[in-house]
Structure 1
């Protein structure tokens, strides 16, 4: 496993969904805030994304825009177009204005994911409200390929379309976030988690933590994997990640344990072993210290 995949995996809930919007100017749609992430891709024409704060963003063919924190926003042919229609109170649905226009056509591909934000990975927390990835020839080829496949599947559904669309939506989110992190180094030195994921030593240690959360890791052992002395590794890891190595290890183990309790049927003892605890008692004590509930209580509460 890798950090980006795991960060998304522990937050994902339910299945993602997507739709195609085809509108004639003047037009506008709005999406209310929701507990998740969403994206829009312009397939034909042009439009504007209107965020809850800040300037409207002009979008052209091939542009991808992602709302990783599910902020409310609008899409329209012009920033001055009025939006109508009752807002959606819960689901991340796009609420359209009346489509009686006879102007230029815009076609957009939209997707949405439901995320559990009770314990977000710090990688996710530092993402901006809006990620805009303008179309550039020869750039982000995998993302462009995923867009083409998803658009074709939605336009021409066939046997297995539900599974194909769900898988492609997962791929889309990963490609969008990967592109954003990669581009943080284009205009200068990387900072935050973009720097963390690019640091060979810290990235190596993180990869081992995520691949083997049950490993009996020490700072010395992780430092050896990273090719650094204990002291040098601890300073570097803490500076980039924001937590000491063993602090992050414990945080990740508890985050993983919570997902296993919420989504699976493994026993508490099995989950304790999978997250590096030799006894169920030690695991339960650590879990209650982190969440304020015993593992069994947490499971019952999480499942309603």
Structure 2
């Protein structure tokens, strides 16, 4: 898989949870901090984001808010509306089907959270702002929002499987849209790394073959740079040395395979670049704090 697909597949645990909520003016609601990454999608109408610091931001139909660290926030029909306590809990029973008021709505939103394992959080998420606002004019995001709105407004056979899949698609489009924006000034970070053809080739190679015996020299050759130039550029942009990233990605991949497969430990060890089960178990325990067998039991 490519780097962004790998990131989404590896960092998420469980299904995304969400709830469709219809609002009638006047309204104002505080949404609590959520484990993982929170999101808001304006399906119909408009509303305002009221940040704790800074000016209110008007949101229109199709707009998406992504909160990679799950910070609490406030939405309202108007900046002067009184604010009530939390109403949307995507982790409660009922999930995305709950939360609709009676009568015509002035706005309809989809609130929710992606369940993420902090131990496997990709450094890409750390580069994102606390609140990322993506207007609905982005074609891919608009298409995903439109499909979500249709499934939520008129659930049909298969909607229980379609909605989580569309939410995964939305997450990928959010990360892709952000990564393809101009770097906006930072000289480092994942937007810059993915936009850099040399570093992108090296990252793609690591993600395609995490079990290969990578060295700084072999990665530099993939990037088309000298060893020293590659090591400097990679470390400055990504935030860690090349082989440190290789080890981190191997451990993240191993954790996903332990959780999602029944591969024997010897096979899994080879797949992520270790010549023996003992060496793999030692490295995994040092990184995750548990030996692989106990990690697999706890994840199950």
**TM-score after normalising by structure 2:** 0.88
5+ residue gaps, structure 1, are: none
Q: Which residue does 2:65 correspond to in 1?
A: 65
Residue 220 of structure 1: which of 205, 217, 221 is its match?
A: 217
| Correspondence list, 1:125-274, <5 A | 125-136=126-137, 140-185=138-183, 187=184, 191-274=188-271
Q: Which residue does 1:105 correspond to in 2?
A: 106
SS at match of 2:38: strand
Comparing 196-205 with 224-233, which one deviates more in the overlay?
Answer: 224-233
Q: For 1:149 and 1:180, how far apart are their aligned partners in 2?
A: 21
Q: Which residue does 1:286 correspond to in 2?
A: 283
Structure 1, residues 138-161: CA drift from partner, whole Å, max 9, x if none?
A: xx2111111111111111222211
Q: For 1:293 and 1:73, how far apart are their aligned partners in 2?
A: 35
Q: Which residue does 1:16 correspond to in 2?
A: 16
Q: How far off is 1:98 after superposition?
A: 11
| Correspondence list, 1:36-47, <5 A | 36-47=36-47
5+ residue gaps, structure 2, are: none
Q: Which residue does 1:26 correspond to in 2?
A: 26
SS at match of 2:16: strand
Q: For 1:97 and 1:142, how far apart are their aligned partners in 2?
A: 27
Q: For 2:299 and 2:230, how far apart are their aligned partners in 1?
A: 37
- Paired residues in the alignment total 297
The CA RMSD over aligned residues, in Å, is 2.8
Classify 1:198/1:211 alpha carbon distance in 2 versus 1 (closer, same or farther; 3 Å): same
Q: For 1:240 and 1:191, how far apart are their aligned partners in 2?
A: 4
Q: For 1:219 and 1:159, how far apart are their aligned partners in 2?
A: 51
Contact 1:24 1:100 in 2 (8 A): no
Q: Which residue does 1:83 correspond to in 2?
A: 83
Contact 2:193 2:238 in 1 (8 A): yes
Q: Which residue does 2:118 correspond to in 1?
A: 117
Q: For 1:297 and 1:97, how far apart are their aligned partners in 2?
A: 39
